[in-house]
Amino acid sequence: MVLIGIDLAWSEANPSAAVALRWDGRLGHPFLWAERLGEDREILDFVGEAAGSGPALVAIDAPLLVPNETGTRPCDRELSRVYRKAHAQAYPANRRRLGPVVRGEALASEFILRGFSHSPKVEARKPVRQVVEIFPHPATVELFGLPHILRYKARPGRSLPFRWEELRRYRELLSSLKGAEPAADLSPILDKADPVGRRGRALKALEDLLDAAFCAYIALHLWYWGERGYRCFGDGERGYILVPVRPKYA
């Protein structure tokens, strides 16, 4: 089984990152990754190289279903209500803001043409070809037990040393997934992912790559546990987001 995470930029003008894991029955191993994918064609080629025609679950951090012209999707509103105290609110998604073509929707349609299904329901350990929408911020809160999100994104008032430290924390948390269930050893990526001294595009590329690695782990978690291991906000008609959670009875 191949598990792929994509940190998708909302426009092809900005780079996206992707990471592919292979599950060997005991551990998830990264075997392919890229931090500066541009056009949709590059992303589709990455997934084609990683998964071929075999089973794969692709978890994408971007809106994949946006039927509303304006306002906010119900799933974004409900997720934000639940995770507001942790500062993990969803970005309001609507067609006017993301259009005229919603990139995630167009990409999901291309995946369907390549034999993938698009559904918010993930069955445990089934050999599927499927694409789903996720959001890493609440996932960090749930899977790492954090009181609030890591603040490594560039924002007014955040210094580079502060962001470097938050990214180092992020790297340590991702490294701890070697002891999780399911387990993943991300060291081939993390060993070269020291943020200190990086700035500008180099820092943004590292940030995107770490996010894509976490997205790939989220895909593994969803596939491993199935419906016991995630909470679905919304539905397959008005839009949805899957947030991984720790099963109550592992």
- Residue 184: which residues within 8 A CB-CB, separation 6 or more? 21, 27, 28, 29, 30, 177, 178, 216, 217, 220
State the average pLDDT over residues 241-245.
Answer: 98
Query: Where do the domains of the chain lie?
Result: 2-243
State the average pLDDT over residues 87-101.
Answer: 92
How do residues 39-91 score in pLDDT, each as one tens digit?
999 999 999 999 999 999 999 999 999 999 999 999 999 999 999 999 999 99
Share of the chain above pLDDT 90, in %: 96
